[in-house]
Structure 1
């Protein structure tokens, strides 16, 4: 892998920009541990973003970035803050970053759009993206339709810029497999939820380490908001409404503030417990430093094993 050389970081690991979770102090902790931390702008106002960037700067002098959700109604102001604060790395999602690319390039900001299709990856390369984050449907939260195993090698063959794998990766073996399929680095989300530094409720962390992959389900199959979550009362009710009357108002009411209920209150029945399929591999809470060291050590061991078999 060579993402660490491209970004001048210790490990080729990026932290996903998880809404209501990926804030300044957490992003700084990831960067301090040798990865690249991101501040997630989902649900953030420009004032919120400015505050979190300042917090990150107070807690690290290493590179950190911002995950820009382009559907945010205040995205123009968010872009202004990213530029004025000297942010040098961006991931983008939920929209087309094309209208901002000229400004990003002028300010020497590396842009890695998140994609879930080959066509979108090609389009982002044409727009001038510096890299691509390929997110498979195994990932937590809002997802596409194609698995990482299938999508990653096709995107890697289709573009000539670095490709980062995301979704369903939670061990050194899987990191090595992603490298074989064409990845230059890895983006982690679910694995980082079970870390001491992650600012989610302890109930959420306990749910992550106790859940199996079979405890995961996808809600929102009947609309444009497919979301991977851990099964609970909220998810079961959502699926039942989808199956019967598809009452959009009832679905909106059910999910309103549901992520915050899980993240901040620790409500494991009525909250939206976003998690990827990799949750079944997570059985302990570690520091980010120990998690990254564990993953990288496993990756190097597996890589050396297969190199020595040649």
Structure 2
């Protein structure tokens, strides 16, 4: 299936596996790429050295194009951009809008730039700055999200920009891909669906919690870091909602110390990143600390398997996913379903 996304990135199918922290490592990314999708490596939870090694590992596992997801507000964003360029990575995606300068640097080196956005105005801005495409995530998506449904946000963005638009938030099968194409998208991006594959390194106990969830077990809360975050309901989420300011601050400091140890960031760098997150938002300092080290809350679940102490980011589709196919099986299924749906559509007249 050829679309503007496949032409731009060189992948076989218009499907993107999103860059999920602690989840989208070399094994999942290479499996997605080998299946014909655009696998995206999550770099925010890696040191620069780990990022370079992870890129090398993906290259050792696949010859297909893949991408790296970057945090535009990170202190070392430019260094990470240079790694992406030096290693010949095909696509750079961003969780937040990158600067005009970062986009230009990547494009000058031949890297395809695809930021993720959650609002029409953000899509218009990055498109004007030279982004090659945008991923637009509606409120159904996992992790940090907005409150506008994909079915409303997607056509707004498609009408507003001339670059290819990839739809995210609520997609898990071939019917969704066809629906997105009908709205004018060039493909779909899926996170939770790829997390729940046999190629994902997420511990089995955590996958079981996702598979057992209903759509009502997925919630949006600001209790974790002060920003809207879609995740599975857990005792931890409930506890953070109940805790007073002092206890929440102590919890945030503990997690910040863990993240500093693993990421090798200095306290100065962490505070700077926290201030960047606080800018323009009404966050307490406890929330700033939690926002800066939310990766640790995710790591507890996604790496250590602690369903009791970790955060499990989840798209709303977690409530309808019931199996753990390989990436190859998943992508083949999505494309087969899409062909069946397209062939079964009624014709005019």
TM-score over 0.5 for the alignment? Answer: yes
Match of 2:336 in 1: 297
Deviations 1:228-284 (A, max 9, x none): 11111111112223xx65975156357662211101121112110111100111101
Alignment RMSD (CA, Å): 1.9
Find the aligned partners of 1:259 and 1:109 in 2 and give their Cα distance: 29
Deviation at 1:73, TM superposition (A): 2.0
Aligned residue-pair number: 308
Find the aligned partners of 1:176 and 1:280 in 2 and give their Cα distance: 21
**Is 1:282 aligned to residue 284 of structure 2?**
no
8 Å CA contact 1:15–1:187 kept in 2: the answer is: yes
Deviation at 1:222, TM superposition (A): 9.0
8 Å CA contact 1:15–1:37 kept in 2: the answer is: yes
Partner-residue secondary structure (3-state), 1:86: coil
Deviations 1:49-71 (A, max 9, x none): 10100000110011011011112
Deviation at 1:221, TM superposition (A): 5.9
Deviation at 1:135, TM superposition (A): 0.7
Deviation at 1:117, TM superposition (A): 0.5
Deviation at 1:307, TM superposition (A): 4.7
Deviation at 1:127, TM superposition (A): 0.3
8 Å CA contact 2:218–2:233 kept in 1: the answer is: yes
Q: How does 1:196-275 map to 2 (within 5 A)?
A: 196-220=198-222, 224-241=226-243, 249=249, 252=252, 257-275=296-314
Find the aligned partners of 1:309 and 1:7 in 2 and give their Cα distance: 34
Give 1:81's match in structure 2, choosing from 55, 80, 83.
83
Match of 1:58 in 2: 60
Give 2:195's match in structure 1, choosing from 193, 206, 217.
193
8 Å CA contact 1:234–1:269 kept in 2: the answer is: yes
Match of 1:94 in 2: 96
Q: How does 1:112-123 map to 2 (within 5 A)?
A: 112-123=114-125
8 Å CA contact 1:193–1:208 kept in 2: the answer is: no
Decide whether aligned partners of structure 1 residues 250 and 149 sit closer, same or farther in structure 2, where only a CA change above 3 A counts.
Answer: farther
Find the aligned partners of 1:264 and 1:27 in 2 and give their Cα distance: 16
Unaligned runs of 5+ in 1: none
Unaligned runs of 5+ in 2: 256-289
Match of 2:137 in 1: 135
Find the aligned partners of 1:31 and 1:307 in 2 and give their Cα distance: 33
Q: TM-score, normalised by structure 1?
A: 0.93
